[in-house]
Amino acid sequence: EVLLQQSGPELVKPGASVKIPCKASGYTFIDYNMDWVKQSPGRSLEWIGDVNPNNADTFYNQKFKDKATLTFDTSSSTAYMELRSLTSEDTAVYYCARRGKWLLFMDYWGQGTSVTVSS
Amino acid sequence: DVQITQSPSYLAASPGETITINCRASKSISKFLAWYQEKPGKTNKLLIYSGSTLQSGIPSRFSGSGSGTDFTLTISSLEPEDFAMYFCQHHNEYPLTFGAGTKLELK
């Protein structure tokens, strides 16, 4: 069974950074890209970017290029997203999602990590 | 970026009914649209990709159609477990973008 396990809610101060893990299980980690998606309160989903754990390639939505960094650790089958210089605009639920094979859709999703930016 | 307009934003229906949800892209995305289901306490579920390809394990009452700029998700003979949020996503090119979602509620 494919599972993407994300961490619990985060409360962070403005200007700080947060690193969100996404632990994958039930499949060969390096065989699939991992996408990250933002869902702000009352707003639609926004694609942040993706990482290829096989060759370390990353692709970012221009909107998030200066905000997010996507990394991974193959030894623990975990993908990470670090968000920096946080503001209230970054308050949202962040999802990791496994990329479908060959095409740009997401076939399995994590449960989401809530990030609240507040002093 | 491709803008996706999803409609309606809200839909009330009864079990046994057939409903349709639409997504319109701001430019042609060929057949590359996916549909997802979102339910509280569950992870998002991929229903359909490439416009009409049913994901493995998804009941056949779900179907997708369309190409170019206009796409439709049809749920036939609604079951109680189908009342949820639905959203679409184009997967034609980067950046990937999503529709705003349709909340399907029990009438």
Query: pLDDT tens digits for chain A (119 residues)?
Result: 999 999 999 999 999 999 999 999 999 999 999 999 999 988 789 999 999 999 999 999 999 999 999 999 999 999 999 999 999 999 999 999 999 888 899 999 999 999 999 99
User: With an 8 Å Cβ cutoff, are B32 and A104 in contact?
Assistant: yes
Shortest alpha-carbon distance between residue A7 and chain B (Å): 14
Size of interface A-B (CB pairs under 8 A): 57
Provide, as residue numbers in chain B, all residues whose Cβ is less than 8 Å from the Cβ of A100: 46, 49
Q: What pLDDT was estimated at residue A102?
A: 82
Cβ atoms of B4 and B97 closer than 8 Å: yes
Tell me the average pLDDT across B70-95.
97
φ, ψ at B26 (rounded to 5°):
-75, -15
Interface of A with B in 8-67 (CB under 8 A): 35, 37, 44-47, 59, 61-63
User: Which is it for strands B53-54 and B85-90: parallel, antiparallel or unpaired?
Assistant: unpaired
Cβ atoms of B61 and B3 closer than 8 Å: no
User: With an 8 Å Cβ cutoff, are B97 and A108 in contact?
Assistant: no
DSSP B96: P
Cβ atoms of A49 and A66 closer than 8 Å: no
Tell me the average pLDDT across B98-105.
97
Cβ atoms of B74 and B18 closer than 8 Å: yes
CA–CA distances in Å: residue A86 to residues A42, A62, A83, B47, B75: 19, 17, 7, 34, 40
Shortest alpha-carbon distance between residue A57 and chain B (Å): 14
> Is B86 buried (19+), middle (13-18) or exposed (0-12) by CB count in 10 A?
buried
